[in-house]
Structure 1
């Protein structure tokens, strides 16, 4: 009992000192050193707990990065192992651009009546699907094209506004995409921007992946070059290919694996209109020569909203339709005699369609122009450069009066020069 009492007394003194209640208690030899050791122990335990917490956080971040790397590795392997779908010619080759009689009368003629035989409707409909077309593999598509280069002409006209394209400058690189999803893509500006977004806003979509829905917004070109988006929107429907555009506060794009066009209001972040483009080929039926399911290409110029595509009735020839930007109804259409698969890309400028000969040749040409005002076309030879040798998107940017392009992960722009408006 006496031994227990002595031990309890020692514990009471130690507890009193540790809790600050050592006033009036006689100090024993070695008690100060014991108190200092206890304080040092408490500090060491606290530091250990902090380090353990930091270690746990870093381990969680490492696990997240490892998961992302594994997902990217699997996606890369999947893309490498998936072959491109076989491309079977659907129509005989079109006449050479050097031959005469390339045009068929368009714009309201009886030859275009087949484009209006079925009514446009809001919502999706399977009744407009062409029985002759069944799309195949859902993987992304790459094709190859043989191109014949032609010499460049001499041009001396001055830029007087909305005339014919005379020359295209050297490409200027603004940004390179960060990962495989950005090998193909589309970037654009709204020439008639609507609040809350200003005229300097730049929009971008990376178009490789199983679920293409992300729309990135950048306050200006500088923020785009730095890679700092101010807005990221998740679209309600998946995007098909690189044919999207922005106009009057809305994003216009083709829904994946369908001929359905969607108008997505950027301010309310909702679908404002949805309509099928009558008889249009989709998902690899009538793409550009590089592939990429580029069957429907939407564009904006000084005259409004356009769709460039083809149909079974047109036998793969390029069809140009002017669309109502509110309802997406076809207002008027023109049919050319140029096979869509024979050109690498196209763009609308001042109501004229221009086609590019090659998407891989570093020194190619813009080889054809069709004027919707006169319903006539002609061959041209305007030098055009594919700096990175895989150009998957070319559009006229009315906001800056430049050409925007997506060339093998790179977002580039081209200065242009226009000549005088030709008399009818």
Structure 2
């Protein structure tokens, strides 16, 4: 297990180095003439550092020799390309280097996939008693708009993919809290290349508000603008539906951004939504959604105050609430178990990439957290407590009684 964690740490370091490189390349693309030789030399040093890391990974993890050899070859090509850039400042070579960088990121995704297959074969199982820790933020790319002003939105994978869409990614981002459109990509490679196979713009009367939307079963679930409530758009049937939850208050949003009233979440147990009501005085309410009827199956009242939270996500029927600790870190501080109707306070610290994030969701197909953070695609690996049998009930504190279902 120590070797596994060491491998994961090194993979995270590799991802961080790649992000540094892409920033340098983006700056170079914007103004080739103004870049000094020192800047180019610095880029070459960073690439060589990544090259050294790949060599280290080859030695420490021999079972992935083929993949890492491929990565090593791609890094070598990048070094040669940058050598030419130093001499010519040729924009075409810079673009070629960018394409090679994208190839390396795709190889990284393949490494992560193989890592999951080898070390986490129980994806989809809830045979654990909760999260124990998170990896460092793994930053994939700047959003499809290539704009850091597009801070509102979300990205990820379908949490219950339909046939032949298992590798599909989605993204939606904007400079405001309004949800206008969404892009779908066949796989990770096309996400990085900003090459969607479908780009759908919502009709004006169906547009949403807020950033806490998800895609499940080829369906977009989001907060409706008018009437204020829940909405869904199925991309298989191209059908729109909405519903209003009586008593829901628009006065209680998350701490990070306004208009985050409804927050959709998905896990191994299904589809969920959280909100607050005037009756609950701002304390979070959790509801289970029937995906076929789009009705509410069951509702639970929690004791956590929604405006003190940055975001929530669900794992195996347990709600996890997140808040800010300091300028760099977040904390999972609260858990609510829908099976036992009990809650407890915990402290699981994890690092942010940028100051604020507008979307945080768990995906049960790969057991990762997907964060939209300052316009960047960010993921986290999760570790679970498998040392205690999941059949043993955790010693949570009992909360108030359930609300009558709608």
Give the TM-score normalised by structure 2: 0.61
- Change in Cα spacing, 1:366 to 1:211, as seen in structure 2 (3 Å) is closer
CA distance in 2 between partners of 1:328 and 1:268 (Å): 15
Counterpart check, 1:198 vs 2:165: yes
Q: Which residue of 2 aligns with 1:348?
A: 314
CA distance in 2 between partners of 1:211 and 1:318 (Å): 23
Q: Which residue of 2 aligns with 1:212?
A: 179
Q: Which residue of 2 aligns with 1:248?
A: 217
Runs (5+) with no aligned partner, structure 1:
1-157
- Change in Cα spacing, 1:191 to 1:345, as seen in structure 2 (3 Å) is closer
- Change in Cα spacing, 1:372 to 1:387, as seen in structure 2 (3 Å) is same
Alpha-carbon deviations, 1:26-52, whole Å to 9, x = none?
xxxxxxxxxxxxxxxxxxxxxxxxxxx
Runs (5+) with no aligned partner, structure 2:
1-119, 394-406
Counterpart check, 1:412 vs 2:378: yes
Task: Assess if the C-alpha contact under 8 Å between 1:213 and 1:235 holds in 2.
Answer: yes
Alpha-carbon deviations, 1:205-238, whole Å to 9, x = none?
1143385321101111221122221210112311
Task: Assess if the C-alpha contact under 8 Å between 1:213 and 1:239 holds in 2.
Answer: yes
Normalized per residue, the structure richer in helix is 2
CA distance in 2 between partners of 1:230 and 1:181 (Å): 24
Q: Which has the larger radius of gyration?
A: 1
User: What is the alpha-carbon root mean square deviation over aligned residues?
Assistant: 2.0
Task: Assess if the C-alpha contact under 8 Å between 1:346 and 1:395 holds in 2.
Answer: yes
Alpha-carbon deviations, 1:155-178, whole Å to 9, x = none?
xxx997422111111111112122
- Change in Cα spacing, 1:360 to 1:179, as seen in structure 2 (3 Å) is farther
Q: Which residue of 2 aligns with 1:229?
A: 196
Q: Which residue of 2 aligns with 1:323?
A: 289
- Change in Cα spacing, 1:289 to 1:205, as seen in structure 2 (3 Å) is same
Q: Which residue of 1 aligns with 2:229?
A: 260
Give the number of aligned pairs: 263
Counterpart check, 1:275 vs 2:243: yes
Task: Assess if the C-alpha contact under 8 Å between 1:259 and 1:281 holds in 2.
Answer: no
Q: Which residue of 2 aligns with 1:183?
A: 151
Q: Which residue of 2 aligns with 1:21?
A: none
CA distance in 2 between partners of 1:210 and 1:252 (Å): 16
Task: Assess if the C-alpha contact under 8 Å between 1:171 and 1:412 holds in 2.
Answer: yes
Pairwise CA distance, 1:269: 2.4
Say which of 300, 321, 324 aligns to 1:334.
300
Secondary structure in structure 2 of the residue aligned to 1:357: strand
Task: Assess if the C-alpha contact under 8 Å between 1:280 and 1:310 holds in 2.
Answer: yes
| Pairs within 5 Å for 1:25-36 | none
CA distance in 2 between partners of 1:331 and 1:310 (Å): 17
Give the TM-score normalised by structure 1: 0.59
Task: Assess if the C-alpha contact under 8 Å between 1:365 and 1:384 holds in 2.
Answer: yes
